[in-house]
A and B are shown apart, each in its own frame.
Chain A
C-alpha cells in the first residue's frame, strides 16, 4: 500500500470520524491514503473507552442523529459493525416532583403534554410538523457544497441559484418561519408556541447545545432546527445510540476505510504540514518522520490546522485573522459515571422506559438561563443544564451485568473559565454535576462506583480539539454555511494548494454527521486529484 519512501496520494491528519470518512471515500476512488492519528485509538471525540474495567464510556460525544445515511450506505458501515439503536424518549424532572416526558408515540406524547397544558399538547404536534418541514427545507443545503456568494464562477452561481430556487419553493409562511429561526432566541421563538415553562426549557436546551448562548440569546433558535435534522434510516428527528458507544461508529468507519485500502496509523502525531512554493507536499510527524503526498487533508479544527500545523507565512494575513477570530468557544463538559445500580428519579421512581431515553435537567427556562449566566461571567454553571443518558439501558454490553454507565453532557463549562481550569475546579465542577442530579435522583451518590470528569481543558488535552469543543467551532449562524470556517474558504479548500479541510469546523459542521468528511472527499476527487 505504502510506496517505499513514504509517498501517498493523500494524507489525512486526524483519525476522527470525519478524517476516516474522507480517507474511506478517497480510498474507494483508488487513492493511496494514510490516516494519521495522534492517539492510540481512532475516533477523536467519538471514542468508546473502558476507563474502569467492565464499564465502557462514550467518553465525549455520546448520541448520534446526524450521521448521514448516504455515508452508512456508501461505506457499508453496518457490515463493519455499525448498529444504531433508537433513543426515543426524553424525561425532564421538575422541581415540584412532577415531570414532562416526550415519548416515541404522538398519542402518548399528546396525553403527557396535555397533563401540563391542553393547548401545548396540540401546539406540540403542529410545532413538530413545522420543524420537520423546516428541516426538510434546509436539508438540501446541508447535502451540498456551499457556494461562495461573492464568486462569479459558473459553479458558485449555479449553487447560489439552487439555494435561491430552493428558498423560493418555500411558502411565505415557511419563509417567515425560517427567518424567525435564524434571528430569534430559542426562548422567544418557543414563547410563540407554548405556555408550559418546562416544555420551553427542554426544547430550548436543544437550542443551546454546542453554543455559547443562553436560551434568551438571539440566534439560538436556529440551533433548534440544526438538531431537528437528525436522520436515521431516512426518519427525521430520531436520535440514536450506537451499539458499543460512539467509538463503535469510528471503528466501523475505520474498518471500512481499511477494507477499501486505506492505511490507518495510530500514535502518529503530525507536527507540521510541509509546503513548497505555496503547495502542500506532505507532513512531518512528531517523531521526525516525513510523509509525502500532493494532497493533505486536515480533519482538525481550523485553529489547530492553520495556527499550529501551517507556517503563518504560508497563509494570507487576512485569512489568519479570520481563523483567529473564528469562535470555537467550548462551552460544555462531560461527566461519565460507573454505577452499581440505576438512579431513582423522585418524579418517576423505579425502573421504566424513561431510563432508556434521555433525562434532561432543564426544569425551567430560568434554570437554563441562569446556568448560562454563570458561564457568561467566567464560571462553570453551579446548577448546569444536563443531557443524561444511561447507555447500559440501551446496550447492556456497556457495563457488567446489573451495573450501569451514565453519560452526562454538561453545559455550561466554559473553556475560558476565569483563572483557567485546574484540578480543584474540575472536582468542584464534578461535584456541582452530582449535586444537580441529586436534586432529582437523590440516590445518585450511593450508586457511584467511579467518575470521570472532563472539563473543556481535559477534552482539549486528550483529543486536541481547541477549547475542548467537540463541534470544532460554535454552531452560531454567523459561522455556518459559506462562512464556515472562513468567508471565501468554505469549500474545503484552503489558501495552501493541496491542503484541504474536512472536520466539523467545515460546513455543515457539528455532531457525528460526517457530511464534512464526505463532501471534502468528493470535492478533492472532483478537483481532479
Chain B
C-alpha cells in the first residue's frame, strides 16, 4: 500500500531549474515552499554577484493578491498606510499596513497595473484581511500566490541583462516604476524593485510560463556574470540596504502575544510611508495620535566598531570571529558603561563589501540619535562581553545606480 498523502512542501515554479544547481541540498522554508539557502556551498560569490554583476533570485513564495474593480484603489488606500488613491498607473509603492491600533501587520508592495487592477505582495497571508476590509467595495480579490511566479534580478548588470532578455529599453523605467514586456514569448511585468538596495528588477509572470523566462534571463545574463543566488546572500544585502524583515525585525500585530511585541510604522522607521493626510485608513487615528507624542522607540542602523571588537578577541590571543552568515536573533544593546539595556539588535551581518559589522536595531528613542554610542553584547570564548557600537545612517550601502 502506498500513500496518496503527499505532505512534501512544494518547490516553486522554477524548481526544475533551481534544484540541480543546489550543490549542498541546502534548502530552506519560505511561506510553505522550499527555496535554496545558497546554490553553492558558500554564499559569498552569490553575494558579490549582487554588488558586482547580477544575481538572480527566485522570489515566487511571496504572497500575491490581485485586486480588481472600480474600487481597487480605494481598497488598498483603505488598508495600507501609503497614499494609494493618488498614485499613478505604473507606480509601485512600498508600504506597511496596520491594525486598528496603528500596529504593523505586514509590509510589501502595491503595483498599480491599471486604474482598476492592483497587485499586493506580502510576507504573510492577507487574503482574509483584504476581504474583511473590502466590505461594501466593488472589488474582487484573488490570491495569486501560486499562479504568479516571480524572479528578482539584482545588481549593476541587471538592466543590461533584462534589456537583452526582453528586447526592450528599460532606461525610462525609474526606481519603483513598472513596465510590461515580453520575454521569450511570455508576457511579464517588470518592476524596478528588489530587496537588495541595488539596481534591480523583479519580473512577474504566470507560473505555467516560468521556465522559459528563467531560461531567457539566464542565457542573456551569461556574458554579464549572472549568478543564481539564494536567501543567505539576499539576507546580507538587505541588511546593508536597511530593509526590515517580518518575523525577524518585527512581529506582526496579528501574531504578537503581548502588546509590547507590536510596533507602529513610526517605531520601525517607516514614518515616510504613512499618508497622515489621507482621508481614512486602518490605524489612521492611532498613528495621528502617536505622531503627536514623543517617540518611544526607533528602528536604526547600528555598527559594531571593529577595533573594540578586535581587542576583545586579541586579549585572548584570538583573531576576531565574525558571523559568516547574517544572523536573526535578538542581541542586547546597552548604554555605554552602564548596565542599562536601551534596545536590541534583531538582524546583523558582516558586510563583505563595506568591511563593517552591521546590525538593525530597536532602540529607545533617547538612545537612537545619529552617532550615539552603545555597547553591543558579544560572546567571546563563552564569556559575555560588550563591544562599542554606534548608531549609523541607514541604508548602510546606497549606490547611486539604485535610482539612476
Interface residues of A (CB under 8 A from B): 101, 103, 105, 107-108, 110-111, 118-119, 121-123, 125-126, 129, 133, 171, 342, 344, 348-354
- Determine the chain A residues whose CB is within 8 A of the CB of B32 once the complex forms: 107-108, 110-111
- Determine the chain B residues whose CB is within 8 A of the CB of A129 once the complex forms: 255, 257
- Determine the chain B residues whose CB is within 8 A of the CB of A118 once the complex forms: 127-128, 143
Knowing A351-B1, A353-B3, say if A171 contacts B259 (CB, 8 Å).
yes
In chain B between 105 and 148, which residues have their CB closer than 8 angstroms to a CB of chain A? 125-129, 131, 143
Chain B residue with minimal CB distance to A132?
Answer: B257
Q: For A101, A122, A133, A350, which residue has the most chain B Cβ atoms within 10 angstroms?
A: A122
Interface residues of B (CB under 8 A from A): 1-5, 7, 9, 29, 31-32, 125-129, 131, 143, 254-255, 257, 259
Chain B residue with minimal CB distance to A122?
Answer: B128
Determine whether the beta carbon of B5 is less than 8 Å from that of A342: no
- Determine the chain B residues whose CB is within 8 A of the CB of A133 once the complex forms: 257
Min CB–CB distance B389 → chain A (angstroms): 34
Complex: how many Å from CA A118 to CA B129?
Answer: 11
Residue in B3, B4, B125 whose CB lies within 8 Å of A122: B125
Residue in A121, A348, A353 whose CB lies within 8 Å of B125: A121
Determine whether the beta carbon of B5 is less than 8 Å from that of A352: yes
Complex: how many Å from CA A110 to CA B127?
Answer: 13
A-B contacts, 9 listed (Cβ < 8 Å): A101-B5, A105-B7, A110-B125, A129-B257, A133-B257, A342-B1, A348-B3, A348-B5, A353-B3
Total A-B residue contacts, Cβ distance less than 8 Å: 53
Knowing A121-B125, A133-B257, say if A103 contacts B7 (CB, 8 Å).
yes
- Determine the chain A residues whose CB is within 8 A of the CB of B128 once the complex forms: 118-119, 122-123
Knowing A349-B4, A351-B3, A352-B3, say if A108 contacts B9 (CB, 8 Å).
yes
- Determine the chain B residues whose CB is within 8 A of the CB of A121 once the complex forms: 125
- Determine the chain A residues whose CB is within 8 A of the CB of B143 once the complex forms: 118
| Closest CB pairs A-B (n = 9) | A352-B3, A350-B1, A107-B32, A122-B128, A352-B5, A351-B1, A122-B125, A119-B128, A118-B127
Complex: how many Å from CA A292 to CA B95?
Answer: 76
**Majority-rule SS of B interface residues:** loop
Q: For A105, A107, A348, A353, which residue has the most chain B Cβ atoms within 10 angstroms?
A: A107
Determine whether the beta carbon of A108 is less than 8 Å from that of B7: yes
Knowing A111-B32, A129-B255, say if A119 contacts B5 (CB, 8 Å).
no
Min CB–CB distance A423 → chain B (angstroms): 36
Complex: how many Å from CA A119 to CA B32?
Answer: 16
Min CB–CB distance B30 → chain A (angstroms): 10
Determine whether the beta carbon of A122 is less than 8 Å from that of B5: no
Min CB–CB distance B79 → chain A (angstroms): 15
Chain A residue with minimal CB distance to B257?
Answer: A133
Chain B residue with minimal CB distance to A107?
Answer: B32
Residue in A107, A126, A344 whose CB lies within 8 Å of B9: A107
Determine whether the beta carbon of B5 is less than 8 Å from that of A353: yes
Complex: how many Å from CA A111 to CA B7?
Answer: 10
Complex: how many Å from CA A351 to CA B1?
Answer: 6
Min CB–CB distance A292 → chain B (angstroms): 52
- Determine the chain B residues whose CB is within 8 A of the CB of A352 once the complex forms: 3-5
- Determine the chain B residues whose CB is within 8 A of the CB of A110 once the complex forms: 32, 125
Determine whether the beta carbon of A354 is less than 8 Å from that of B125: no
Complex: how many Å from CA A118 to CA B64?
Answer: 13
Determine whether the beta carbon of B4 is less than 8 Å from that of A348: yes
Chain B residue with minimal CB distance to A350?
Answer: B1
Min CB–CB distance A113 → chain B (angstroms): 11
- Determine the chain B residues whose CB is within 8 A of the CB of A108 once the complex forms: 7, 9, 32
Min CB–CB distance B187 → chain A (angstroms): 25
Determine whether the beta carbon of A350 is less than 8 Å from that of B125: no
Min CB–CB distance A127 → chain B (angstroms): 11
Chain B residue with minimal CB distance to A99?
Answer: B5
Min CB–CB distance A85 → chain B (angstroms): 19
Determine whether the beta carbon of A350 is less than 8 Å from that of B4: yes
- Determine the chain A residues whose CB is within 8 A of the CB of B129 once the complex forms: 122
Q: For B2, B32, B128, B255, which residue has the most chain A Cβ atoms within 10 angstroms?
A: B128
- Determine the chain B residues whose CB is within 8 A of the CB of A119 once the complex forms: 127-128, 131
- Determine the chain A residues whose CB is within 8 A of the CB of B131 once the complex forms: 119
- Determine the chain B residues whose CB is within 8 A of the CB of A342 once the complex forms: 1
- Determine the chain B residues whose CB is within 8 A of the CB of A105 once the complex forms: 7
- Determine the chain B residues whose CB is within 8 A of the CB of A123 once the complex forms: 128
Complex: how many Å from CA A108 to CA B9?
Answer: 7
Complex: how many Å from CA A122 to CA B125?
Answer: 7
Complex: how many Å from CA A467 to CA B273?
Answer: 64
Min CB–CB distance A274 → chain B (angstroms): 52
- Determine the chain A residues whose CB is within 8 A of the CB of B255 once the complex forms: 129
Complex: how many Å from CA A171 to CA B127?
Answer: 26
Q: For B125, B254, B259, which residue has the most chain A Cβ atoms within 10 angstroms?
A: B125
Min CB–CB distance A494 → chain B (angstroms): 40
- Determine the chain B residues whose CB is within 8 A of the CB of A101 once the complex forms: 5
Min CB–CB distance A506 → chain B (angstroms): 31
Complex: how many Å from CA A342 to CA B1?
Answer: 10
Min CB–CB distance B103 → chain A (angstroms): 13
Determine whether the beta carbon of A126 is less than 8 Å from that of B7: no
Min CB–CB distance A235 → chain B (angstroms): 15
